[in-house]
Amino acid sequence: MIPQDLPKLPPVMPIEIPYADGSKVFCPICVANGYSASTQATGKKWFLTGNSVGGAIWNSSIPRLQLGLGYHGSSRAVRGLISYRAIEQVVPGVGLNLGYGFQSQESGATGASATLEHNMVRGASVLNLFGGISVQENDRRGRFVGGFKWSPDGKWFVGNQYDGRAHNPFVQRAFGDYSLGLLYVSTRSLTLTAGWSF
């Protein structure tokens, strides 16, 4: 049985990150959802996350629905984000999340995602797993996305997210309502991450 007071992990959303050389990486975690920057806070309605690439703010006032607004610095793109917990339990302990993202300029892409998520708890140790499919309108190809986040003690976390094209490993330390960490974006660029729930 899954405890009800587990830290809430931000939703998985597809975001396209352009590099200075013009190439792009399909990255659903770097800017918007803060998977590598979640906190230990419970009962909070707002989540703010940021790194050297950009940041986002999420609100979860409506049960099972999260609305967000993200900003990507180098492209100066503002992104609207939606995530909905469509099914609490597809099978015991596994929920279905649906996501959609859109933005204000041509440099990025509108995208949608559907992922299954599972939390496993063994004493103080917690493992979060997710996997699913994401589609962007710029190429209309379905891509597998997935990842994990593991903590031995609820304070230190290590994980990785495969965004459809590249891996994004991270390490994180949570301090109650706050978190700090390092994220290796597409295994090409190292950035600091920070999160705050309020």
Total tally of structural domains belonging to the chain? 1
Domain-embedded: residue 34: yes
Domain-embedded: residue 171: yes
> What pLDDT, on the 0 to 100 scale, is given for residue 19?
33
Domain around 26: 16-197
How far, in Å, CA of 169 to CA of 184, rounded?
6
> What pLDDT, on the 0 to 100 scale, is given for residue 4?
46
**pTM across the whole model:** 0.77
> What pLDDT, on the 0 to 100 scale, is given for residue 109?
54
Domain-embedded: residue 107: yes
Domain-embedded: residue 6: no
74 within 8 A of 18, measured Cβ to Cβ: yes
Parts of the chain with a pLDDT under 50: 1-4, 6-32, 105-108
Task: Give CA torsion, residues 32, 37, 42, 47, to 10 deg.
Answer: -30
Domain-embedded: residue 4: no
Domain-embedded: residue 67: yes
CATH code of the domain containing 110: 2.40.160.40
33 within 8 A of 13, measured Cβ to Cβ: yes
Start-to-end C-alpha separation, the chain: 27
Strand partners, 191: 183
- Extract the tokens encoding 80: 């609207």
> What pLDDT, on the 0 to 100 scale, is given for residue 15?
37
Strand partners, 111: 101, 136
> What pLDDT, on the 0 to 100 scale, is given for residue 68?
85
Q: Is the dihedral of CA 118, 125, 12, 46 positive or negative?
A: positive
Domain-embedded: residue 143: yes
CB atoms closer than 10 angstroms to residue 1: 6
Domain-embedded: residue 5: no
How far, in Å, CA of 77 to CA of 82, rounded?
16
SS3 state at 194? strand
Contacts of 5 (CB under 8 A, 6+ apart): 42
